[in-house]
């Protein structure tokens, strides 16, 4: 009976820890963007049109899916992008699996092409990476004197969750 209680307690502990980790990760805003959507990284697609209206933020990831036997992913400068010059890439993101992930970790203009002549068939992408926009204010700015402070998630959610977990664990163990 005591072993069964300990197993339940450990299972509960694991479940609560997973919930806490998922809660903490929910604030992470990075997005993995599949280049070309359902079409992927392939020829005869206008990636300028595909990227139009999309926002790429610092911390996002570009996910290139393509035929690894024919194509590649090269990061180039603006001049090489415009001329489809694959001879001097700033970075070759090709891993050989046809599933390449590029972290967008600097706010700048990124230029990507596929070599082997595919750039001339439209396999080129330029994206501007920008900082995340600031979150909207939680209360009007002109009412700061009488306004309550913004919510503190540590005291409002995490602390009660930890206390509830400890109480639950205490119940199972003793």
- Residues 22 and 89 reside in one and the same domain: no
- What is the domain count for the chain? 2
144 within a domain of the structure (yes/no): no
What does the pLDDT look like over 90-134, one tens digit per residue? 999 999 899 999 999 999 999 999 999 999 999 999 999 999 888
Q: Residue 155: what pLDDT?
A: 55
CA 45 to CA 115: how far, in whole Å? 15
Taking the model in full, what pTM does it have? Answer: 0.64
- Of residues 76 and 143, the one with the higher pLDDT is 76
111 within a domain of the structure (yes/no): yes
- Residues 97 and 169 reside in one and the same domain: no
Long-range contacts of the stretch 130-136 (C-beta < 8 A, 24+)? 130/55, 130/56, 130/57, 130/58, 131/57, 131/58, 131/107, 132/29, 132/57, 132/58, 132/59
Q: Residue 96: what pLDDT?
A: 86
- Of residues 158 and 45, the one with the higher pLDDT is 45
- Residues 84 and 101 reside in one and the same domain: yes
142 within a domain of the structure (yes/no): no
DSSP code for 147: P
Domain that holds residue 9: 2-27+150-173
């Amino acid at each position: 009976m005591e072993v069964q209680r300990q197993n339940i307690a450990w299972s509960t502990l694991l479940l609560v820890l997973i919930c806490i980790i998922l809660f903490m990760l929910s604030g992470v805003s990075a997005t993995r963007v599949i280049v070309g959507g359902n079409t992927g990284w392939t020829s005869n697609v206008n990636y300028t049109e595909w990227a139009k209206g999309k926002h790429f933020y610092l911390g996002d990831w570009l996910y290139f899916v393509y035929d690894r036997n024919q194509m590649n992913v090269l990061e180039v400068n603006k001049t090489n992008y415009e001329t489809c010059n694959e001879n001097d890439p700033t970075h070759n993101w090709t891993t050989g699996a046809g599933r390449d992930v590029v972290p967008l970790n600097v706010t700048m203009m990124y230029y990507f092409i596929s070599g082997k002549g595919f750039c001339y068939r439209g396999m080129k992408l330029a994206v501007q990476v920008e900082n995340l926009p600031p979150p909207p204010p939680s209360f009007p700015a002109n009412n700061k004197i009488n306004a309550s402070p913004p919510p503190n998630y540590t005291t409002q959610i995490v602390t009660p969750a930890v206390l509830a977990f400890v109480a639950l664990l205490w119940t199972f163990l003793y």
